């Protein structure tokens, strides 16, 4: 008799990909060694035995990370699952958590492609999604930011977004599945940790299924907005010879924001893309027919917007 988590995992996966997993499909599991990903690995092995491979990423941030990856390797060896440790090359810069996430997904996608894996599953669960949505609400994120923790992005599946953290931990404990607790999960320097503790202490009731439905709806809205932006850009946005020209600006502000970012992407791909208040302020100025410098690009507003890279600054 399959376990409740295993049955729910199989049902969630079939819903996401629109059909059962075929016997010839291989699945990659991203495993940090925490209870969430170890529960996913164990349940997936029960659902699709012989079809899994696993990978753990060592970001080079903690000396214990290698030992934790070796713990995962030992479990995988006993279960007959091929496992690989992926190591981030070089020191992470800037926002460490964001940089680690980007490096992790890049390594995992390279591994997935190399191994010919049809899908990559991660152990993100309902509490992760709730925390991310609340954090981004607090930062004034738009549709794209709020919809970012979705159940599926191309080959990446997050089939545990209806499961609570405590449920996955109990699953591991009941089956003597080894797992580790990352000490950074108790480090109050991180916004997510402070939010998690605040939610736990307040006893706030947040329905994870309701949050998942809202994120799903936002994801569909994001797809619709991207579709609309593509078509408007095809009709009214000219990008050539180092000049970006938007020939029609009587559009909703959200579409204008996206077109503005496309102009910057064309003129200065390496620039840090503006967000939030700086982007909104630029829109006000441009709609008023004024000139704006944004992301090292000079924009001239009005009924038509034009933009070029700002000239290099003269050294003194």
Residue appearing with tokens 């020939």:
247
Where does the chain hold its CATH 3.40.50.620 domain(s)? 4-217
Residues 6+ apart with CB under 8 A from 91: 60
What burial letters (b/e) apply to 131-157, b meaning 16+ CB within 10 Å?
bbbbebeeeebbbbbbbbbbbbeebbb
pLDDT on residue 77: 96
For residues 131 and 111, give the distance between their C-alpha atoms in angstroms, rounded to a whole number: 28
pLDDT on residue 1: 34
pLDDT on residue 127: 86
Dihedrals phi, psi of 176, to nearest 5 degrees: 55, 35
pLDDT on residue 182: 67
Structural contact between residues 243 and 308, judged by C-beta atoms closer than 8 angstroms: yes
Q: Is 296 left (phi over 0), alpha (psi -120 to 50) or beta?
A: left
Dihedrals phi, psi of 134, to nearest 5 degrees: -65, -40
Q: In angstroms, what CA-CA distances link 77 with 4, 64, 303?
A: 25, 20, 64
- 238 three-class SS: strand
**CATH superfamily for domain 4-217:** HUPs (3.40.50.620)
Model's pTM, two decimal places?
Answer: 0.76
Identify the burial level of 61 via C-beta atoms within 10 angstroms of its C-beta, where 0-12 means exposed, 13-18 middle and 19 or more buried.
middle
Two tokens at 234?
């095809």
- The beta strands (E) that lie in the chain are given as 27-30, 52-58, 82-87, 119-121, 152-153, 156-157, 237-240, 243-246, 291-294, 297-300, 305-309
User: How crowded is the C-beta side of 216, counted as CA atoms within 13 Å?
Assistant: 12
pLDDT on residue 135: 80
Query: Averaged in consecutive runs of 10 residues, what is the pLDDT profile of the chain (316 residues)?
Result: 81 96 97 95 97 89 81 95 88 71 90 97 90 80 79 93 92 95 65 68 68 84 94 97 96 95 95 88 95 95 95 68
């Amino acid at each position: 008799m399959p376990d409740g988590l295993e049955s729910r995992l199989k049902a969630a996966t079939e819903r996401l990909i629109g059909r059962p997993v075929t016997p010839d499909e291989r699945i990659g599991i991203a495993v940090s060694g925490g209870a969430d990903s170890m529960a996913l690995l164990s349940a997936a092995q029960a659902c699709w035995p012989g079809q899994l491979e696993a990978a753990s990423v060592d970001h080079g941030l903690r000396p214990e990370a290698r030992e934790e990856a070796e713990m995962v390797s030992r479990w995988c060896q006993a279960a007959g699952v091929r496992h690989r440790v992926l190591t981030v090359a070089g020191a992470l810069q800037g926002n460490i958590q964001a940089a680690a996430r980007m490096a992790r997904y890049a390594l995992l996608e390279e591994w997935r492609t190399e191994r010919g894996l049809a899908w990559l599953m991660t152990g993100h669960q309902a509490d992760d999604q709730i925390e991310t949505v609340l954090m981004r609400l607090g930062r004034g994120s738009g549709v794209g930011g709020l919809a970012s923790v979705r159940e599926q992005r191309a080959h990446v599946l997050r089939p545990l977004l209806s499961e609570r953290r405590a449920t996955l931990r109990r699953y591991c404990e009941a089956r003597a599945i080894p797992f580790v607790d990352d000490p950074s999960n108790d480090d109050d320097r991180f916004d997510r940790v402070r939010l998690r503790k605040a939610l736990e202490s307040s006893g706030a009731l947040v329905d994870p299924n309701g949050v998942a439905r809202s994120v799903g709806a936002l994801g569909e809205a994001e797809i619709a907005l991207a579709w609309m932006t593509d078509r408007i850009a095809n009709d009214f946005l000219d990008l050539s010879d180092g000049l970006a020209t938007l020939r029609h600006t009587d559009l909703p502000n959200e579409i204008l924001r996206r077109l503005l970012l496309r102009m910057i992407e064309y003129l200065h791909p390496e620039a840090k893309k503006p967000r939030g208040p700086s982007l909104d302020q630029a829109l006000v100025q441009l709609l008023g027919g004024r000139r704006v410098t944004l992301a090292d690009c000079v924009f001239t507003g009005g009924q038509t917007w034009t933009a070029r890279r700002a000239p290099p600054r003269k050294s003194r």
